[in-house]
Chains A and B, each alone.
Chain A
Amino acid sequence: MRTDFSKPAPPSNDKRWKMIDAAMRRYGHKPHALIETLHTVQSVFGYLDDDAFRYVAASLRVPLSKVYGVATFYHFFRLKPKGEHTCVVCTGTACYIKGANQIMKALEDELGLRAGETTPDNKVSLMTARCVGACGLAPVVVMDEEVVGQMTPDKVLERVQAWRES
């Protein structure tokens, strides 16, 4: 049984851990701050890794299994780093009706990837979103945070090609 409840040391000297500390402090290091803390880790580091899990678990005094359970339950959390560029295909109903499947297929064929994977040269990550809420512009693809509406397979491939050549 663990008796030492002093604050654990961050996994590395990376200054960014201070931001994670600040987020946890805002909620008094209470276990209910787990999801908010994981959001902060992901926005700071881009993804969640084992070091982060262990550090957050120890800091909030939540079992490591629970931290992992929460991180894998929610689709928003990534356990692998993203590529240089991200291409998020919206698979909401409006986009589906307007041909998001064809866009997804074109990207999968071109990049040789499935949703959630990154090209071996680490250039492009292919992802899907449940609905980005821009249904008026369907079909929608989010390319590096930029929401692009009325997409077609040709247009999306052209932009992805430009990324790969850059």
Chain B
Amino acid sequence: MTPDEIRVSAKKYRAERTKKKHHVCVCMAAGCLSAGSDVVKTALEENIEKEGLGDSCEVRGVGCLGLCSAGPLVSLDKERVLYQNVKPHHAGDIIKSLGKEPVKEIQCDLDQPFFISQKKVVLENSGRIDPERIEDYLAVGGYSALIEVLTNWTSSEVVDEVTQSGLRGRGGGGYPTGLKWSTVAKADGTEKYVVCNADEGDPGAFMDRCILESDPHRVIEGMTIASFAVGAKLGYVYVRAEYPLAIDRLRKAIQQAKKFDLLGANILGMPFSFDIEIRLGAGAFVCGEETALIASIEGKRGNPRPRPPYPAERGVRNQPTLINNVETYANIAPIIRHGAEWYSGMGTESSKGTKVFALAGQIKNTGLIEVPMGISLSEIIYEIGGGIPGGKKCKAVQTGGPSGGCIPEEHLNISVDYESLKSLGSIMGSGGMIVIDETANMVDVAQYFMEFCRSESCGKCVPCRVGTVQMHKLLEKISAGDATVDDLTLLIDLCDLVRNTSLCGLGQTAPNPVLSTLRFFRDEYAALLKPSSATAAADE
């Protein structure tokens, strides 16, 4: 297919898409599916047939609609109606009510802050298109950024545009994406690679899963634009084996893109070729670290190696490799379509654009949200999230998973951007946001994360392998009430040592949950300590 043919097809699909009077969209992402949305979808289809409405209504399986806690969700696209907790027996009423008053009993208020305070860029198609149909993606303007780039841009113009947008790595580190791209573009190498890190290992994070399940073509488009910018021929998506649905949809999307000449040899009949292979992770958190991920792509144990050299110079098979996270690639197409200036108009001085968060834990509205950078945490928790259920108080918000920290209630007015979160001892991370209520014990929380790091340490470097075990033992001792103030001092010393001497990010950040809980909830530690032998002797 040529660019013109794609444009013509896209126009046709757009017309087909809007032809029917009513669109009943059923969320088919993993959250709603496990609540039974597939059965709901079948029931809706049966009812349309029963009522003989096949000509005017269509049921569509779509990606994540966001409010996972109220699933299964069904949305009426044109009428702007959302139904929550839909059971198969509601299907008849929903179909009968089309064109009339919505079914009040299961209607979800779309004017609540959960919906109106969000700003959707990455998730713009999520819940609107069928992720298993490339036709749907083309109909909403998909691949137009790729066509634009391939027909009218030079590779350095693409790098410049991404640089000017101010986009920073969404995997957690926040490294400027444009800078990374220009390093790989300038690097010498016989062949270069583009890698998408979809090894979403942070427990409590499901943004990448939802993006891949809801809009896989967007990631493929972003990666293809990246490969054009840096001069790569082959790309890998490294995705967790624990996400079978995401893998399945990505596989389908790659096949479809190839069929439309949007991927493979001579894309759109032009002298540019790029192919994508999927590599399955196998349940090792450390593989989210870029050098470990590269080792895993090569079929080896996921052991990290010292940097430099960075993957931008020597990555997969020792060739220059661009590694970005799923959400980073998902931002590329809109940046090209609307321009860097539009993108940098959102967010704060140093953190541009939007960020997707997975909101979970002790909060009323759990689910997937996308907000502009610079929004306050309290707005996310109390307005979008709807506050804490059961009349309880929020104690802390955990961001960044095992590498992050806990931000206490009194600091919730903080702006969500890379620097502010760092100043409180946490990190932006990939976007997991867990709300902890007043019933939780923070020493327990620290111990939970340390147990995680202990078990996920790859064992290559001593500080992390031994340090995480010892820190975990000390936390156990504190929890059991057997520790003295000397043990606490030892724990703090160990945190410092592991942080400064570990080989990779896993070890360097493993002490963060301990340090941040110590910083804000020291009294909870102190309450568990028994008097040290020295003070006990002095008392006598």
A and B found bound together: yes
Q: What string of 1s and 0s marks CB contacts (under 8 Å) between A136-166 and chain B?
A: 1110100000111100000000000000000
Instruction: Identify the stretch in A5-13, A87-95, A102-110, A117-125 within 8 Å (CB) of chain B at 4 or more residues.
Output: A87-95
In the complex, chain A residues 50-68 whose Cβ is within 8 Å of any chain B Cβ: 62, 66
Q: What string of 1s and 0s marks CB contacts (under 8 Å) between B282-301 and chain A?
A: 11110000000000111111
Chain A residue numbers with a CB within 8 Å of B33 are 147
CA distance A132 to B368 in the complex (A): 15
Interface residue total, chain A, C-beta cutoff 8 A:
40
A73 with B448: CB separation less than 8 A: no
Chain A residue numbers with a CB within 8 Å of B281 are 74, 76
Instruction: Identify the stretch in B105-113, B225-233, B356-364, B372-380 within 8 Å (CB) of chain A at 4 or more residues.
Output: B356-364
Kindly state whether residue A131 has any CB partner on chain B within 8 Å: yes
Kindly state whether residue A34 has any CB partner on chain B within 8 Å: yes
Chain A residue numbers with a CB within 8 Å of B206 are 131, 133-136
Instruction: Identify the stretch in B9-17, B86-94, B195-203, B346-354 within 8 Å (CB) of chain A at 4 or more residues.
Output: B195-203
B301 with A137: CB separation less than 8 A: no
Inter-chain residue pair count (beta carbon < 8 A)? 142
A36 with B34: CB separation less than 8 A: no
Q: From residue A63, how far is it (CB to closest CB) to chain B in Å? A: 12
Chain B residue numbers with a CB within 8 Å of A137 are 31, 34-35, 68-69, 71, 366
Q: Which of B30, B201, B202 contacts A147 (CB 8 A)?
A: B30
Kindly state whether residue B241 has any CB partner on chain A within 8 Å: yes
Q: What string of 1s and 0s marks CB contacts (under 8 Å) between B450-464 and chain A?
A: 001000001000000
Q: Of all chain B residues, which has the CB nearest A34? A: B299
B284 with A75: CB separation less than 8 A: yes
Q: From residue B278, how far is it (CB to closest CB) to chain A in Å? A: 9
Q: What string of 1s and 0s marks CB contacts (under 8 Å) between B418-435 and chain A?
A: 000000000000001011
CA distance A130 to B242 in the complex (A): 9
Chain A residue numbers with a CB within 8 Å of B449 are 93
Q: Of all chain A residues, which has the CB nearest B362? A: A97
CA distance A26 to B33 in the complex (A): 32
Q: Of all chain A residues, which has the CB nearest B316? A: A32
B201 with A130: CB separation less than 8 A: yes
Kindly state whether residue B467 has any CB partner on chain A within 8 Å: no
A133 with B283: CB separation less than 8 A: no
Kindly state whether residue A96 has any CB partner on chain B within 8 Å: yes
CA distance A141 to B367 in the complex (A): 18
Kindly state whether residue A113 has any CB partner on chain B within 8 Å: no
Kindly state whether residue A46 has any CB partner on chain B within 8 Å: no
Q: Which of B296, B360, B368 contacts A35 (CB 8 A)?
A: B296
In the complex, chain A residues 1-49 whose Cβ is within 8 Å of any chain B Cβ: 30-36, 38-39
Q: Of all chain B residues, which has the CB nearest A133? A: B206
Q: Which of B30, B35, B71, B282 contacts A77 (CB 8 A)?
A: B282
Q: From residue B369, how far is it (CB to closest CB) to chain A in Å? A: 11
Q: From residue A11, how far is it (CB to closest CB) to chain B in Å? A: 21
Given A133-B209, A133-B243, verify A93-B434 contact (CB < 8 Å). yes
By a beta-carbon cutoff of 8 Å, the part of chain B in contact with chain A is 30-31, 33-35, 68-69, 71, 200-206, 209, 241-243, 279-285, 296-302, 358, 360-362, 366-368, 398, 401, 432, 434-436, 440, 448-449, 452, 458
Q: What are 9 pairs between A and B in contact, CB < 8 Å? A: A35-B279, A130-B203, A131-B204, A133-B205, A133-B206, A133-B209, A136-B31, A137-B34, A148-B34
Apart from A36-B279, A73-B458, A93-B448, list 5 A-B contacts with CB within 8 A: A62-B299, A94-B434, A134-B30, A136-B71, A138-B366
